[in-house]
A and B are shown apart, each in its own frame.
Chain A
Amino acid sequence: MTETLARAVEVSRRYGDVTALHPTSLDIRAGELIGLLGPNGAGKSTLVNLLAGLRRPTSGSISLFGGSPGDPVHRRSLGTTPQETGLPPTLKVRECVDFVSAHYPSRADRDELLERFGLAELRDRQIGGLSGGQKRRIAVALAFAGRPRLVLLDEPTTGLDVEARRALWDAIRDFHAGGGTVLLTSHYLEEIEALAERVVVLGEGRVLADDSLASVRGMVGVRRVTLTAAGLPELPGVLGVETDGARTHLLTSDADRLVRELVLADVPFSGLEIRATTLEEAFLAITAQDAHPTAV
């Protein structure tokens, strides 16, 4: 049986009157690469902070390497990422890495780590003088400074250009290939698709889906078909309908089939547009599906 590195059992978290996370359970098993996907405010960071011991759950329990994440001993094999805006500006890159790794019983070789994240040339530069993208890479590299078994990467590539993002993905894949476990949050579907094997979708503080990448991709691969038509018949595969003046928006996971059905139904329509939905729209579709199962 695979070892469970972290486990959340019915954890919830409230901030004052706001419930950021409704009771949620999640097991992170050794060797998994889990994508935690959701729009802003879905509760991703809250869940990550609970797992890292930064916050205590309002209800439920969290265990990390068999104990409370609030106890430093249980964080010895955990790597997390700071926000790049907070890195100490006067420290040099190598000093910052040395400082962080000094906290861990087992330390990654600093120069090898900097090399892996494309930071070797910056090692003697003060962090304050670096670009946002360079700081972002340092922040992600720090998660690996203590030879972790589990890393929690909260939005690791936000603000990076395409090339830097791909380099970072490679580094994450290498870590995973070497047996490492990753929980990655993102609101980029592309990033989750490139990396994750298992995908957990959060929306409004609830787990909407926890499945393999392939099945979640099917769920969120929603298209928006927009047209002007006087009246529409019952169409198959429509997840949601919105009207906006004369325009009708149909959300569907199979736009090709929907258009064929439209033509076959011989309905007069004009101004047909098909475009990919934003993730937010896709989540709305998933939530709507949960709320009105008959609409499917």
Chain B
Amino acid sequence: MSLVVTHVKYQFLETIRIPIAVIGNMFFPAASMLFFVVPFAGDDPVAATYATGSMMTFAVMSTCLFTYGIGVSEDRAQPWDPYLRTLPAGPWPRFAGRLVTGMAFMGIALVPVVLIAAFLTKATVSPLGALLGLGALAIASLPFTLLGLLIGYALPSKAAIAVAQILFFPLAFGGGLLSAPGNAPSFIETIAPFLPTRGSVELVWAATGDFTPHVVSLVMLAVWTVVAGALAAWAYRRDEGRRFS
């Protein structure tokens, strides 16, 4: 357990020492809040709350795809990784450390979104709603964490960067994160329920406001999570088998 803490500490340090990486991670959701949410929905409490939920889901998704996808893939290319395998600890402290560090940076990416929502919009949420919202985000982060790990373990780093970038826009747009519930262009309303972003954001909407999630979205969220999990486990084992067997 203390080794997990050690790994979290040093992985956190390694990342935070490159401030632009952290700022970049916070920038997209914060900028989207400022450009799209504040001017268009800021004055309407209901719309602002929904939009804030969308941006938080967006922040969670992009952090997961980038920190896990690109981070894992770059680490795999370094000879430091096999060296750590010769230390008297299994691969789990490093893996657990990676997950916890990813969550910490997810939290950091959420801070500006919350601050902008609180001070620049009329978004409102009860304390219980905020707590449920965080819980919903934790569930929402699952499929994206697994997708990120899949990218990281399956692809070399240059391909991982490209795939993460290619994935994150259609997932955000297609899942309807950039429009209010029911307000997206009709083709997006058609495909959205089949993307993991939609189920995720519906959970957040339901936790923080008066929204009833659609069954299709939630079922698809579960399907994405299970499939991404199975593929991530496959990619992890394949990588272990290639490098350490």
A129 to chain B, nearest CB (A): 12
Verify B13–A54 contact, CB threshold 8 A.
Answer: no
Interface residues in A71-106 (C-beta closer than 8 Å to B): 72-73, 75-76, 78, 80-83, 85-88, 90-91, 95, 99-100, 102-105
**8 Å CB contact of A72 from B13, B14, B17, B89:** B89
Known contacts A55-B245, A73-B88; is-contact A86 B83 (Cβ 8 Å)? yes
**With an 8 A cutoff between CB atoms, is A137 at the interface?**
no
In the complex, B82 has a CB within 8 A of chain A: yes
Instruction: Please give, as numbers and ranges, the residues of chain A lying within 8 Å of B13 by CB-CB distance.
Output: 90-91, 95
Taking a contact as CB atoms under 8 Å apart, the answer to whether A54 and B79 are in contact is: no
A82 to B83 alpha-carbon distance, docked (Å): 5
Does residue A202 face the partner (Cβ distance < 8 Å to B)? no
**Cβ proximity bits A48-82 to B, threshold 8 Å, 1 near / 0 not:** 00001111100000000000000011011010111
Main secondary structure of the interface of A (DSSP, over half): loop
B interface size (C-beta, 8 A): 23
Which B residues between 81 and 121 are near A, CB-CB below 8 angstroms?
81-83, 85-90
Chain B residue with Cβ nearest A96? B10
The reply to whether B83 and A55 form a contact with Cβ atoms under 8 Å apart is no
Contact B10 A99 (CB under 8 A): yes
Tell me which of B3, B14, B15, B79 contacts A103 (CB under 8 A). B3
Sample of 13 further A-B pairs with CB below 8 A, known A73-B88, A75-B88, A102-B6? A54-B82, A54-B86, A72-B87, A75-B87, A80-B83, A81-B83, A82-B80, A83-B79, A86-B83, A91-B17, A95-B10, A95-B13, A104-B87
List 11 interface pairs A-B (beta carbons < 8 Å), by A numbering.
A54-B82, A72-B88, A72-B90, A83-B79, A86-B78, A86-B83, A90-B18, A91-B17, A99-B6, A99-B10, A142-B83
User: 10 closest A-B pairs (Cβ-Cβ)?
Assistant: A82-B83, A86-B79, A86-B80, A90-B17, A83-B79, A103-B87, A86-B78, A75-B88, A80-B86, A76-B88
